[in-house]
A and B are shown apart, each in its own frame.
Chain A
Amino acid sequence: MSTYLCSQVVLKIIKHYQEEGQGNEVVQGVLLGLVVDDRLEITNCFPFPQHTEDDADFDEVQYQMEMMRSLRHVNIDHLHVGWYQSTYYGSFVTRALLDSQFSYQHAIEESVVLIYDPIKTAQGSLSLKAYRLTPKLMEVCKEKDFSPEALKKANIAYENMFEEVPIVIKNSYLINVMLWELEKKSAVADRHELLSLASSNHLGKSLQLLMDRVDEMSQDIVKYNTYLRNVSKQQQQKHQYQQRRQQENLQRQSRGEAPLPEEDINKLFKPPQPPARMESLLIAGQINTYCQNIKEFNAQNLGKLFMAQALQDYNN
């Protein structure tokens, strides 16, 4: 199953980030299109304004409805098929994204979230990926039960959370004609950032983000371990209490008194709350994405370095 993208969407997303998203803010917008057979065709999009403090009464839903109504007026596809978001160095696996994507996918089964990485694009190659939640994850989200037992039952690992949908860019003939025109008229501005050998800046930032996440993950693991230890301690205490009870009862019997009433053990020993596992799944997923990106980046750079070495050897 693949997603067909009209080039207009690509350009609009790039432009939106360029104009609005300098800095660490994410920019978001809505994708419009239609579903054909098992393909998702995205033909248009419009951006979402960012939330500002002095715009407290700004109604998002109303903005969306207005836009869609106006677009319908001029015969542009107005069916909501997904949304897009920009990302900073590949960090997008968050609870917020999960919730939004879940609500979209609940309404329309084929909807995707397009993740646009402007920093990677500026390094030379367009980085646009489409993700959907796996059916397993959809089930779990529907139940809203994120305890360890439920997740174990559903058998979800961090790799099975999102599935990537391949993107294909498809243009109509008219757009192709226009592209030929553009090619003739624009100045030849061959940018060669893709072949640049400088990599330490990007690597440094990615590793920093990775380290933060790993810290979070270790904290989460510590929390889970404490929980497990508490559970086992409680078990022991329950056991001891029961034994003491039995001993006392035996003693009382031997003395001829009535045995003590059975008390509800569970009320005495409240079981500790199991921590929600969703956070740790998300963190693991994010770490995985970071590692994947870093490895891709490294592969590219290694190739470039070896090329540079070969050229130098040739010259000497």
Chain B
Amino acid sequence: PEKPRLPPARCPPATLPPAQLSRGRAARRPHAAPLTAVVPAGTVDKHSVEVTNCFSVPHNESEDEVAVDMEFAKNMYELHKKVSPSEIILGWYATGHDITEHSVLIHEYYSREAHNPIHLTVDTSLQNSRMSIKAYVSAPMGVPGKTMGVMFTPLTVKYVYYDTERIGVDLIMKTCFSPNRVIGLSSDLQQVGSASARIQDTLGMVLQYAEDVLSGKVAADNTVGRFLMDLINQVPKISPEDFETMLNSNINDLLMVTYLANLTQSQIALNEKLLSL
């Protein structure tokens, strides 16, 4: 989610892939597909705007004019409202690098739909080897009465996740490290193993930092030191006997439940066999 500074906007990562997909698809098919502009929908807070969803709208762009299928946009918005009635149109986005004159026209249209619409650009052409995602809000400028213009002021963008979303994104990010860009879903103990490995790495980093400070390689930083103190104090002080009893009772519970689950499974298997006699 993106959080621009003026009205900050937050958008969950689910909104961004559609841009990629539509651009990617356009590049794949041989016939020219129109560039799509997408309408982010979301909720408005006092100081921030949260972009939670978006959908594609076909439009045609040529040298002198630009045509956007408004009917289509209205239709899609109605359909979306049936699922999430609290979402409103916040603005629009386009895949591309810059803001062009056409953007001004489209932005003007959307200022009729939404109050102070947001314009998002997702650079799928990868200029500067980065996919820059920027958000803008329009402000009028110029001499009143004479030539008026529109200026797009940039906003800061921040990404915000729900917990479950964060977990999903973590998993998806692993595809970046695999050659085929694929990843399967791992099984129970493997996950515990990888989570512990991660903690081990972070602990290693912290230890390294502490040693560096002690040997004088790195200057000591008070805030970091305070965090470390909090970390150490968070480990609860339990006497070994209490810990043993807690551990044993937990282990016993789990073993009993596993035994019961196995028993139930063998019971229904037996039932199945008896029925088929």
Contact = CB atoms under 8 A, between A and B. Distances in A.
Contact of A166 (B168, B184, B192, B255): B184
Contacts of A176: 175-176, 181
A309 interface: yes
Contacts of A7: 17, 172, 175
Given A70-B79, A169-B183, A11 B56 contact: no
Nearest to B20: A174
B176 A174 contact: no
A303 B194 CA distance: 13
Contacts of B276: 152, 155
A307 interface: yes
Contacts of A276: none
Given A74-B57, A125-B191, A191 B133 contact: no
B171 A126 contact: yes
A7 B169 CA distance: 8
Nearest to B163: A122
A75 B26 contact: yes
Contacts of B115: none
A316 B243 CA distance: 12
A294 B265 contact: no
A122 B168 CA distance: 10
A95 to B, nearest CB: 18
Contact of A73 (B58, B172, B173): B58
Contacts of B58: 73-74
Interface string B55-89: 11110000000000100100110010011100000
B272 A157 contact: yes
Contact of B180 (A18, A170, A182, A300): A170
Interface string A119-145: 001101110100000000000000000
Contact of B14 (A12, A63, A125, A158): A12
A173 B131 contact: no
Contact of B131 (A76, A178, A295): A178
B21 A44 contact: yes
Contacts of B55: 70
B24 A172 contact: yes
A274 B267 CA distance: 23
B72 A70 contact: yes
Interface string A281-316: 000100110110011111111111111110010001
Interface string A173-214: 111111111110110011111110101100100010010001
Given A75-B25, A128-B185, A172-B24, A200 B253 contact: yes
Contacts of A192: 195, 199
Contacts of A171: 172, 175, 181
A11 B20 contact: no
- Looking at A11, A124, A194, the one whose CB has the most chain B CB atoms below 10 A away is A11
16 contacts: A12-B14, A14-B164, A14-B168, A15-B53, A48-B83, A70-B55, A168-B182, A169-B171, A174-B124, A181-B130, A182-B173, A183-B173, A191-B163, A191-B166, A290-B261, A300-B189
Given A166-B184, A195-B196, A217-B271, 17 more contacts: A17-B164, A48-B83, A70-B72, A70-B79, A125-B186, A126-B167, A126-B168, A126-B171, A152-B275, A170-B175, A172-B181, A181-B133, A182-B173, A207-B260, A210-B261, A291-B264, A302-B251
